[in-house]
Amino acid sequence: MALATFGAGCFWGVEYFFREINGVINATCGYMGGKDSATTYSEVKTGTTGHAEVVQVEFDPELVSYEELLDVFWKNHNPTQLNMQGGDIGNQYRSTIFFHDKQQKALAEASKLALARSGKWGQRHIVTEIVPLQTFYIAEEYHQNYLEKNNLPSCHISY
């Protein structure tokens, strides 16, 4: 198994999209990228911890490639919005890829460049961060599989 970590706005929708992919074993909501180690949702949502809402994806690379996960990441949020997605505003909703190794870094950078060159977003700049993995803090249990537990539709818009 392998791991990938993505931030693309509210983690409920991000988790939902990754859980739908054949080869994804688990998708876990959490926090990463900030300065505080004792992190809770109530602290992260203030935007003062520096953490992003992220989803850590455990996947079987024999069934789904990291490149395919990147494709899902790019298609399910707006990578040109700085520190926000839709109505969610703050650095905790930033577009970010936390790479786990040099290969993930190279693939993420290549996919970002390809997306920028594709013209899909016109003249808008892709603001997605591609940064090294940091400590992953698992979000509270009620956030895990939140949309399914509450029988809600996805809170993300596919782009």
pLDDT value of residue 46: 87
79: closest CA among 138, 135, 6, 139?
6
Structure confidence by residue, pLDDT tens digits, 127-154: 999 999 999 999 887 778 766 766 666 6
Contact criterion met (CB below 8 Å) for 94 and 6: no
Regions of the chain with pLDDT less than 70: 38, 146-147, 149-159
- Structural domain boundaries of the chain? 2-149
Tell me the CATH class for 2-149.
Answer: alpha beta
Among 3, 4, 8, 10, which one carries the catalytic annotation?
10
Phi/psi for 117 (5° steps) reads: -75, -15
pLDDT the model gives residue 122: 87
Tell me if residue 10 is catalytic: yes
The per-residue pLDDT for 147 is 66
